[in-house]
Amino acid sequence: MVRKGGYTLYGIWREDKLFNLSITIVLSFVALIVLYPLFFIIIASISNPQSVVTGEVLLMPKGVHFAGYEKILKNTELQRGFINTVFYTVTGTAINLVLTICAAYPLSRKDFKGRQTITAFLLFTMFFSGGMIPTYLLIRDLGMINTIWAMLLPNAVSVVNVIIMRTYFQTTIPAEVQEAASIDGCSNLKLLWRVVLPLSMPIVAVMILFYSVAHWNAYFNAMLYLNNRTMYPLQLLLREILVQNDLQDMVSLGDDSLMKQLLNAESVKYAAVIAANLPVLLLYPFLQKYFVKGIFIGAIKG
């Protein structure tokens, strides 16, 4: 038996197998803990609410029905909230992406004078901010209370994402390529559009994922700045359903008993959670490869 450093190769191979098996078991257990709540919400949303309340639903749905989803589809306020959230997400992500690129690209250029000072100023805002009350007063004085701009402009740029994208530009786009394009007569704007961005699709996909998920889940700004319920995003309505138990408009659609209304309220809660998170769950698999690639390239080289 061949020995290496006092251990047989068979012993080393066996230790590696045991280590890999242990890691697999631990990670499988963690994945089960993370995924089971989502799985439970899915099966509970299509199960008989009485079975859910009595704890009979654990691994399989019982008494399959879709009363919760039917009530959501009949509720015009939730439909309007869904449309508002889609609008805030698409428009807000577009604004975020444009401003982040416009900030990150100049800061990545070594020939840009004052970039260190500007970067330091941006980093300063990560540690110190005006706070909620001064921000609210600013939004009020700008006349953005109860407007769509209160949902889009206050968080138009994330300093963290600017730093991530700047680092990606610095470490991934070869300086020789940019110099060659400049020699061929490319302006800075044309260089950004035709050379830098086509080579930066992984980090662009990461930014789209970060910003879109943040907009989709946002409710706090709406709670502060919006008074008109027709402008509420879906997540703020979902908060009312889950936290405040505001389900009167959804469970009283022809139901004749209080017990049935209470049971339907449980179905609506689970169905609303699924409806609010399904778009993000569907979007992530398409961006996952870009997400992993963009993050790791920026982290390793940065």
Question: According to the model, what pLDDT value does residue 8 have?
Answer: 63
- Tell me the residue range of the domain where 15 lies: 3-45
* Cβ-based burial of 171 (10 A; exposed 0-12, middle 13-18, buried ≥19): middle
The rounded mean pLDDT for the chain is 80
pLDDT at 3 over 60: no
Q: At what angle do helices 115-127 and 159-172 cross, to 10 degrees?
A: 140
Q: What is the mean pLDDT of residues 36-53?
A: 81
Cβ–Cβ under 8 Å, residues 226 and 151: yes
Residue 80: inside a domain: yes
Percentage of the chain lying above the pLDDT 70 cut: 83
Whether 152 and 252 share a structural domain: yes
Does 97 lie in the same domain as 39? Answer: no
In a domain, 64, yes or no: no
Q: Is residue 288 part of a domain?
A: yes
pLDDT higher than 70, residue 6: no
* Sequential DSSP letters for 230-289: GG--HHHHHHHHHTS---HHHH-SS---HHHHHHHHHHHHHHHHHHHHHHHHHHHHHHHH
What's the pLDDT score for residue 280?
Answer: 78
Same domain, 224 and 105: yes
For residue 76, the one-letter residue type is T
pLDDT at 286 over 60: yes
164 and 272 assigned to the same domain = yes
- Residues 88, 221, single domain; the answer is yes
State whether 9 and 142 are in the same domain.
Answer: no
The predicted structure's pLDDT at residue 4: 47
40 and 100 inside one domain: no
Q: How many domains does the chain have?
A: 2
Q: Dump pLDDT digits (tens) for 8-37.
A: 655 566 777 888 888 889 999 998 888 888
3-state secondary structure 44-80: HHCCCHHHHHCCCCCCCCCCCCCHHHHHHHHCHHHHH
Bridge partner list, 8: 3
100, pLDDT greater than 50: yes
pLDDT tens readout for residues 64-83: 777 778 778 777 888 898 89
Q: Are residues 106 and 236 in the same domain?
A: yes
pLDDT band at 301 (very low <50, low <70, confident <90, very high): very low
- Look at residue 279 and tell me if it is in a domain: yes
Overall average pLDDT of the 3-10 stretch:
53
Beta bridge partners of 7: 4
d(Cα 274, Cα 147) in Å, to the nearest integer? 28
Residue 73: inside a domain: yes
Mean pLDDT of 100-128: 87
Distance between CA atoms of residues 124 and 129, nearest Å: 9
Q: What is the pLDDT of residue 132?
A: 85
Is 183 within 8 Å of 267 (Cβ atoms)? Answer: no
Asked whether residue 12 is domain-assigned, the answer is: yes
In a domain, 131, yes or no: yes
